Amino acid sequence: MKKIRVWDLPVRLFHWLLAILIVLAVITEKIGGNALVWHFRIGYALLALVCFRILWGIVGSHYARFSNWIFSPSTIVKYIWAKKGSAAKQYPGHNPLGSLSVLALLIVILAQAISGLFANDDIASEGPLAHFISKEWSDKFTWFHATIGANLIYFLVGLHLTAIAYYVFWKKENLPRSMVTGDKQVLGDPPTVNDSARLRLLALAIFAACILLVYLLVQL
């Protein structure tokens, strides 16, 4: 067993910011009233974050890249049927089954943020892009946002936490700690990631560009 860097700092920051913002988005929506303005801002931040993660899936470090964790259906099936214990060690990053959950979360959060831009609350607020479409369509986006999207997020977050609990308590593998330190104990000789200052700066520049893009989008 040896320790390698699996998650670069941008991936870790992305993960924890995403978690915090999702919780805050739910809280501000439940409070309602004047807190809704914060629900909107949090939604914009989440949109920028997911945009960043998509780009980071192309230019990020080894285990952050889609090429490392988008698997074919046959690989996923093989992973599920493989003998437990051996399979986990072959995938220091997202394993084939877990990658489905990551992909689903990214897609659903993206859909949730975008639908929010077009939604309205039938009281006093509407998303910044709602005025481009009819009320009827805005209501459809609202319906998706409030029922489908929200419940999918609850479900996927629940699944995510359950899977982590399974790893921590049954498999004695502390995944949350890895998401803080970035390191994992591995067998064999899998690649360690480039978590250099230069790459972190690149991530910062990409994230800044995503924020600017979202900022311009909501001003339309």
Partner 1 sequence: MSIKLLSCLALALASTLVIHHASAQVPAERAVKYRQSAYYLMGQHLSRINAVVKGDVPYNKAAIEINAETLNILSKIVFEAFPAGSEGGASKAKPEIWKEMEKFKQMSQASQGEAAKLDAAAKSGDLAQIKLRFNDLSKSCKVCHDQYKQK
Q: Which residue's CB is nearer to partner 1, number 37 or number 205?
A: 37
Q: How many residues bind partner 1 (CB under 8 A)?
A: 15
Please state, in angstroms and rounded to a whole number, the distance separating the CA atoms of residues 49 and 14. 7
- Count the alpha carbons within 13 Å of 38 in the hemisphere toward its beta carbon: 15
Q: Which of residues 105-144 bind partner 1 (CB under 8 A)?
A: 121-126, 142-143
Assigned token pair, 47:
């949109």
Beta carbon of residue 62, minimum distance to partner 1 (angstroms, whole number)? 43
At residue 19's C-alpha, the angle toward residues 17 and 20, to 5°, is: 65
Q: Which residue's CB is nearer to partner 1, number 54 or number 122?
A: 122
Beta carbon of residue 55, minimum distance to partner 1 (angstroms, whole number)? 31
Q: Which residue's CB is nearer to partner 1, number 37 or number 77?
A: 37
Beta carbon of residue 153, minimum distance to partner 1 (angstroms, whole number)? 16
* Residue 199 contacts residue 33 (beta carbons within 8 Å): no
**Residues in contact with partner 1, shown as a per-residue x/- string from 139 to 158 under the rule CB under 8 A:** ---xx--xx-----------
Reduce the DSSP state of residue 184 to 3 states and report it: strand
Q: Which of residues 10-69 bind partner 1 (CB under 8 A)?
A: 32-34, 36-37
Nearest to 205 by CA among 10, 16, 20, 50: 10
Q: Which residue's CB is nearer to partner 1, number 123 or number 197?
A: 123
Beta carbon of residue 21, minimum distance to partner 1 (angstroms, whole number)? 20
Return phi, psi of residue 217, to 5°.
-60, -45
Please state, in angstroms and rounded to a whole number, the distance separating the CA atoms of residues 195 and 61. 7
Q: Which residue has the tokens 């975008």?
A: 114
Q: Which residue's CB is nearer to partner 1, number 66 or number 143?
A: 143
| Residue 34 identity | N
Beta carbon of residue 46, minimum distance to partner 1 (angstroms, whole number)? 20
Question: CB neighbours (10 Å) of residue 74?
Answer: 9
Please state, in angstroms and rounded to a whole number, the distance separating the CA atoms of residues 16 and 48. 14
Q: Which residue's CB is nearer to partner 1, number 1 or number 124?
A: 124
The yes or no reply on residue 188 touching partner 1 (CB under 8 A) is no
Residues that bind partner 1 (CB under 8 A): 32-34, 36-37, 121-126, 142-143, 146-147
